[in-house]
Structure 1
Amino acid sequence: MPPLPDAPREKRLLGASLKMYLDLPSTNSYVSSVAPLSSAADAANIDFFVIPDFVTLLPSAEKLASTSIWLGAQDCHSEDKGAFTGEVSPVVLAQAGVKIVEIGHAERRALFGETDKTVAAKAAAIVRNGMTPLVCIGEKSHSSIASQAVGLAVSECKPQIIAALSGIPDTADVILAYEPVWAIGASEPAGADHVVAVTQSLRELVKGRQGRVRILYGGSAGPGTFEALKEGVDGLFLGRFAHDIKNLEKVIGEMK
């Protein structure tokens, strides 16, 4: 009797945010270059997303329409409509074809004063409009003693997660992007042992939810990062290293 085939693994998840690094022509060119990577991501059993700036969401949606790549947005307001000059409605994002919305990034918290309460309200708005929140979490504190570093990370991330989940249905899908604040923009990602220990602990926190929870690692992630982290994370959330399409191709190959 032939051996039974191995069960297919869970789909991994890979995405990139452009932040505010590129201008209009560069962003359009980037998304056009990313679109052909859809086939490689599909073959590698990877859900793949890209998050451009707000201005290029509509042209990006058109460029990605014939692919399986998800379109993401970098933020949204917590209300669907109203007198909120300069803000972006989650209703409009959904109408534009956005599938996931990034919220709670360390830059938003540090530069714009966003709190766990702010993030929770945005998560609720995203879910009620049929999109998936990509909630950025991470600790500011760090210790050179490994066990202390893990404890600090979990203690700081736990309330961020609890707040974000507090206002959404238990059935809602959520993506958690673990990004240690001290690792963002660094020359190297956080140590693999640290990331795996922290994310495994955080996964226990969301165990039992009906909705799917996937955990990504971000923070100077790039080629060569995923293999050492795969026991703790479902994929990677890339920043500046993904601006080079060749790096994206390498990461997709490494995540097969």
Structure 2
Amino acid sequence: MAGQKQERRPLVAGNWKMNGLKGSLSEITAIRDALSGPLAAVAADVLIAPPATVIASFAAAVAGTRLALGAQDCHAKPLGAHTGDISAEMLKDAGASAVIVGHSERRADHGETSAEVRAKAAAAHRAGLVAIVCIGETQGERAAGATLSVVSRQLKASLPKEINGANTVIAYEPVWAIGTGLIPTASDVEAVHAAIRQDLKDIAGAEGSSIRILYGGSVKPDNAATLLSVANVDGALVGGASLKASDFLAIVRAYEGK
């Protein structure tokens, strides 16, 4: 298991959701500077997904550094009469290198289906972006003992063809744990991630071993080391704790000395 972690370089990604203005650049520069200074030896990729409105200005500040920028959603089409939407190509042009698709808040608030998520992931690949595909069960599904079946169904229905370790990341986010402070036990996380890993191997063959699986859902500085040491957990998708550089960097430090 330790060997597998070394083969898959960890990723710590921050999802700012609907937070952040141009004045938030100071948080970005603090993360950038730490990654080129005291945390230069951290063996992990680091990404922040701010609102689309600031990607271009933030991209200028992190160009050529270890800090990457992502986006939080994209439209499946490259262009057209889709008022208010943003294409993957536009995000790439603004300076993003990845895009989150299928987050539970998009699935719940906007009624996104796994088929739509699959189309968005394919759009990310088309534009040369990494697709961070989110899956996870609700509290009701968990209580019914349906976690593994729900996660497996979402995963298989949300992935486009020709996925690999370079173009796709999976983020397991139990919906009931997002922003609640509740988290599954380490053994529960290990069981779900092991099942996802097996599904990825079934879907993509040997390439399924190279696709990173992130854990998300109330990841904080005080639980990061425990969660990120679990087998088949290749990093974290961090919500609220990514808004402050000090909190986010404390999570990144879980990979210090690895």
TM-score, normalized by the shorter chain, greater than 0.5: yes
Q: What's the offset of the Cα at 1:153? A: 1.4
Does the 8 Å CA contact 2:14/2:238 hold for their aligned counterparts? yes
Residues 25-36 of structure 1 mapped to structure 2, 5 A cutoff:
25=23, 27-36=24-33
Structure 2 counterpart of 1:36, which letter?
A: D
Partner of 1:3: none
1:176 counterpart = 2:170? yes
How does the TM-score come out when normalised to structure 1? 0.88
1:252 counterpart = 2:252? yes
Q: What's the offset of the Cα at 1:249? A: 2.3
Structural RMSD (CA): 2.1
Q: 3-state SS of the aligned residue for 2:11?
A: strand
Q: What's the offset of the Cα at 1:168? A: 2.9
Q: What's the offset of the Cα at 1:63? A: 0.8
Does the 8 Å CA contact 2:216/2:237 hold for their aligned counterparts? yes
Distance 1:243 1:41, change over 3 A: same
Residues 1-256 of structure 1 mapped to structure 2, 5 A cutoff:
9-10=6-7, 11-25=9-23, 27-39=24-36, 40=38, 42-140=40-138, 141-143=140-142, 149=145, 152-165=146-159, 167-171=160-164, 173-207=167-201, 208-210=205-207, 212-229=210-227, 230=229, 231-256=231-256
Distance 1:163 1:60, change over 3 A: same
User: Deviations for 1:118-146, whole angstroms, at most 9, x for unmatched residues?
Assistant: 101001110011111001110013556xx
Q: 3-state SS of the aligned residue for 1:139?
A: coil
Q: 3-state SS of the aligned residue for 1:133?
A: strand
Q: Which runs of 5+ in 2 are unaligned?
A: none
Q: 3-state SS of the aligned residue for 1:223?
A: coil
Does the 8 Å CA contact 1:44/1:255 hold for their aligned counterparts? yes
Q: 3-state SS of the aligned residue for 1:250?
A: helix
Q: What's the offset of the Cα at 1:106? A: 0.7
Structure 2 counterpart of 1:55, which letter?
A: T
Q: 3-state SS of the aligned residue for 2:51?
A: coil
Separation in structure 1 between the aligned mates of residue 153 and residue 125 of structure 2, nearest angstrom? 20
Separation in structure 2 between the aligned mates of residue 139 and residue 7 of structure 1, nearest angstrom? 26
Which sits farther off after the overlay, 167-176 or 93-102? 167-176
Identity %: 35
Does the 8 Å CA contact 1:101/1:131 hold for their aligned counterparts? yes
Which sits farther off after the overlay, 107-116 or 227-236? 227-236
Q: Which has more radius of gyration?
A: 1
Alignment length (residue pairs): 244
Structure 2 counterpart of 1:184, which letter?
A: I
Does the 8 Å CA contact 2:47/2:70 hold for their aligned counterparts? yes
Separation in structure 1 between the aligned mates of residue 142 and residue 17 of structure 2, nearest angstrom? 29
Does the 8 Å CA contact 2:35/2:67 hold for their aligned counterparts? yes
Q: Which runs of 5+ in 1 are unaligned?
A: 1-5
- Give the structure, 1 or 2, with the largest relative contact order (CA under 8 Å, sep 6 or more): 2
